Structure 1
Amino acid sequence: MTITPAMPQAKKRPTRTRTKRVSSLPTIRLSQLPPSHIDLRSPLDAVLVCVDCGTWCPITGMMGRTQKIVPHHKGEAGTATPLRCRGSNRKVIFDITIVEWHQALVDAIAEASSRQATAVLPKPFSPQTDRILRARAERTLAGRLADWDAVLPGVAAADSNRRKMPAGDAPTEAPTVPLTTLHPAR
């Protein structure tokens, strides 16, 4: 289809949000957010992380009286049933300047970079533990088989002692075990 001068053309829409609705949730103060959740590098295109869903959302009305978060969906884009975030159209109060935000961001970066993991040093062994570990490392398969062969007679003797039945039908200091079934009289 070709475009002719008689065909209507769509005019450029304004970049502001057309709704005058404002969320009933409390306003967001930029001073209460972490500086890493705000982007004021270009003040007219300011962006922040939505407090409710955690997505980056632009702020509209920068030239107007009321600044608020752009209406947005939470979750994945393009899903079959998108859900509108409850933080949409929430008012934003600029109570910090760009210079204060930048300084807070620099301080936060410096603090985060100073939190580096320390090298974990292993606990030193005691001399006895060190000797045992060295002896284990020096043992060979033949040495372990010889040790097992030396232990086998003691194991066999312990097993045979376990299998023996005690002499007599009762312990020496206890009454004998009754052999007749007791039936109580009614």
Structure 2
Amino acid sequence: MATTTVEPKARKRRQKTRTKNISSLPAILVSKLTASQIDLTPGKEHVVCPDCTCWTPITGVLGTPLLVPHHTTPYHDSTTTPRRCSSSNRRIILDTALDAWRADLAERTEVSATVASRRPTKVLPKPKTSTVPAASQLTPSPLSAEQVRRVFRQHQERCPACMGEATDRAGQTLPCRDGERLAVTFLRLLRQEPQRQAVREFFARERRRFDRVYAAAAPTRQARWSAVLPAVRNADQLRRAVPQGAHPTEGPEVPAGHLVPRQAAEQPAIGQIKCGHCGATESSLVDAVAAGWCLITRRPHCGRCANRFPAWARTSF
């Protein structure tokens, strides 16, 4: 008769553990555990099981502290068959005070946070990007027939219409507008290439001729500048010798005594005052003030002409 070996399975875990069984394994000392491996919060006492490394509740804290019966895998893990851990109902000796555990946990948390802040971060090099030139700094390069030919060949290798594979619903081959435009451009540049080459050669010859003429005229320009340079230096010295705000003493005076005939006819005699409106004159300023003359827009007016303007526009001498 053949015998079959049945793999033992754990029983359903109870919500509340009430048992007098105690494991024969040696008791676990809390003082030998780190502060991060145990939780002594009142009502939520847990410890990391030394066998299965799972967080396991502690029962009987006020009497005989024990590890509650538990499985070797988390209860929500349904991929494996649950097995009972060998440290179930194992005694725990709480030889660490609650305040000491809290202080140790706070110190370890602070130290780990400080270490994490001191840990250097990886410095990523900033990618070097080239500066894009402005539109005014771009130098356009003229198209050549060879460049357009290469682009046209690349287009023919990738375009289904140029290879005859693109068809419409009726089965007719569709034309390629881009390929046709490139072919027309290539033929036009190929036809204009001799003329373009002649123009380039002409400009190259003119540039060389201009360079020769400019180089030949260099001694003449140098001689002219050498002749003018002393006069320029003398003018700079005279300008620096003039005081700030004064006019040059050697400059010509304004011919104030020489007037044109019209200005001489309109100019009154010395000591006379002429009305700016009617042309009447007075022999002196005292006579003009006595006759009621006034200034209107900074010009003298007789009393009769001044009465035609409002009072706010008249100003006495």
TM score, norm. by length of structure 2:
0.31
**Residues 81 and 31 of structure 1: CA distance in aligned 2, closer, same or farther (over 3 Å):** same
Q: Which runs of 5+ in 1 are unaligned?
A: 1-12, 123-186
Q: What is the rounded CA distance, in whole Å, between the counterparts of 2:46 and 2:121 in structure 1?
A: 38
Q: What are the Cα deviations for residues 60-101 of structure 1, in whole angstroms up to 9, with x where unaligned?
A: 11222x111000001142546310011111110010110000
SS in 2 for 1:48: strand
The aligned counterpart of 1:105 is 105
- Partner Cα separation in structure 1 for residue 39 and residue 28 of structure 2: 15
Are the equivalent residues in 1 in contact too, given 2:54–2:74 (CA < 8 A)? no
Q: Distance in 1 between matches of 2:110 and 2:15?
A: 40
Aligned twin of 2:19: 19
Q: 1:75 is paired with a residue of what secondary structure?
A: coil
Displacement, 1:19? 1.9
Aligned to 2:111, the other structure's residue is in SS state helix
Greater Cα radius of gyration, structure 1 or 2: 2
Show the 5 A alignment for 1:74-113.
74-77=72-75, 79=78, 81-113=81-113
Q: What RMSD over aligned residues (CA atoms) do the two structures have, in Å?
A: 2.7
Q: 2:65 aligns with which of 53, 67, 71?
A: 67
Secondary structure (helix, strand or coil) at the match of 2:47 reads strand
Corresponding position: 1:28 with 2:15: no
**Identical positions, percent:** 39
User: Shift of the alpha carbon at 1:105?
Assistant: 0.2
1:137 maps to what in 2? none
Correspondence for 1:55? 54
- Cα distance per residue 1:116-171 (max 9 Å; x no partner): 2214569xxxxxxxxxxxxxxxxxxxxxxxxxxxxxxxxxxxxxxxxxxxxxxxxx
* Cα distance in 1 for residues equivalent to 2:22 and 2:88: 8
What amino acid is aligned across from residue 45 of structure 1 in structure 2?
K
1:161 equivalent in structure 2: none
- Compared CA separation, residues 41 and 23, structure 1 to 2 (3 A): same
The answer as to 2:120 corresponding to 1:118 is yes
Give the AA of the match of 1:63: L
Q: How many residues align?
A: 109
Asked whether the 8 Å contact 2:52–2:72 carries over to 1, the reply is yes
| Distance in 2 of aligned mates of 1:14 and 1:50 | 19
Deviation at 1:38, TM superposition (A): 1.4
Distance 1:121 1:74 in 2: 43
Distance of 2:15 and 2:69 partners within structure 1? 16
Instruction: Give per-residue Cα distances to partners, 1:11-63, cap 9 Å, x unaligned.
Output: xx994x32222122221111111111211122x43111112112111111122
Say if 2:69 and 2:85, in contact at 8 Å, map to a contact too. Answer: yes
Unaligned runs of 5+ in 2: 1-13, 125-317
Where in structure 1 do 4 or more consecutive aligned residues deviate above 2 Å?
76-81, 119-122
Q: Could you tell me which residue of structure 2 aligns to residue 40 of structure 1?
A: 40
